[in-house]
Structure 1
Amino acid sequence: MSEELRLRILSAIVLGILVLAATWFGGVYFALLAAVIALLVHYEWTRITGARTLDPEAFWSGWAAMALIAFDILAEQGMDAWNEYLWMAVAFLVLYSLIRAKNRWNPAGVVYAGLTGVSLAEIRGDGFTGFIAMIFIFAVVWGTDIAAYFTGRAIGGKKLAPSISPGKTWSGAIGGAIAAVICGSIVVLSYMKNVSLWIILLALVLSVLSQVGDLFESFMKRRYKVKDSSHLIPGHGGVMDRIDGLVFACSGAFILKMLLSSWNHGAGTFILGAVSQ
């Protein structure tokens, strides 16, 4: 085993333990994890785009907005009276950044990173259902990622998006989606008596979103000609490199909840209801 592979495995184990422990305990522990992830993702986004030197006004207004978002995630308990004003300030900063930005990708980073942190925190919530919902999303995203890699290598075939990520294939995408349904169903069966069609459809949708998120990050790196989003994780690159699929999957689940909050059965009760805690 090479030193690089050993480092990748060790980093993955340590990170996996930390993430699962925070997910299990929930509350302030997971809120802290969500806030840190959001801030690190925004840091890497601005690093990729070179915002600090090329677009300083958008850079600093973006960081001000992210600071408010992180504060909201951490102080969600007991600050409802201030929530409206805080998000008005975030909207103002994003709008200011959008108007003053030399590169529109820089204010977009606030949305990308901020929505990630908020979605993670809201999905997990404080109850056990939120824990299961978060584990369900982890299982779908990780199952998609692992199965897509090995299925694509074993079967090969037509490329999924050769101009963005030449290594990805349609066979890998399909294999990843199948694995997502299986992994998600196993998690659901630990909590419910059966797996409904809604759960299967939800797992498929989140798997597709996860793969779109992976492609999106590949597009960003290719656009700005960088290999890794950063070098924060030994042997793995950056946080964005590791959670690109999770960003779109958890954000998609949160948006589904917002749009379909009146859906009171099947997947609606399981995942959308969990976000309501």
Structure 2
Amino acid sequence: MSDSTVTTPLLSIRDLDVRYPGRTFRSPEAHVIKNVSLDLHAGETVGLVGESGSGKTTLGRAILGLAPVSGGTIHMGSRDISRLGRKERRSIASSIQVVFQNPYSSLNPSMTIEDILAEPLLASGQKAGREMVRSLLEQVHLPADAGARTAREFSGGQRQRIAIARALALSPSVLICDEPTSALDLSTQAKVLDLLVEIQAEKGIAYLFITHDLAVVRAVSHRIAVMLNGEIVEVGDAEQVSDRPAHPYTQKLQMSAPVADPVEQKVRRERRREFARSERATSL
């Protein structure tokens, strides 16, 4: 991949704020995203990692136009997409697509796979023939006859492959992957991650990969951005952030990530003890 410092980003987020008003006049305003800046380049995966409530999914929703932007900008190339109306948003639908977390709720179980894959094409005014459907199924390593079956006939991993195929239907340049493997078992997770890496190598799509799992994001990302309380507290090369985190919150995430190696487990336990000792010392 080319050096991200010299190429023009596909997606450029600058000083982004997302605020939700209180539900009543007495409720405080919720400041969910705070002054976030982040770039995403062609063929690059940026892992966005943080615990539940950190704001990472809201950031993805803001990019997709599903969360209100109260400050800052989101540029797709030279175009500011942060405050587009519904009709204008349709005009960039082919550029940015999403794969959601739950493959069981993101697909209509009674629809045939052919209809599911044809839906985004028809909505954008394009033709959606069986050849196109077969091509999409082939890209995610599912048989051509899968198109005639309904979503309820497939396993979770297969449904997520179908969701990826649907996202690819409009040939996007950016794909928002919102916890796409968290509902899957470990072996299926690995296969879906391998598929995403393969598709990126073939098509040069940029991924914003949202997850709470630092180990998962390390496996697929070029760079990692860590979110805490709506702010990005650390961003850098995936190996550096995963193995040598600078921010205490990233260190905490690293120490909580599961590992199979007994030696590494011992090292992690000692690191956790040191971290706990330093936190106690700081609080005194």
Instruction: Give TM-score, length-normalised by structure 1.
Output: 0.24
Larger helix proportion of the pair: 1
Larger strand proportion of the pair: 2
Larger gyration radius, structure 1 or structure 2? 2
Instruction: Give TM-score, length-normalised by structure 2.
Output: 0.24
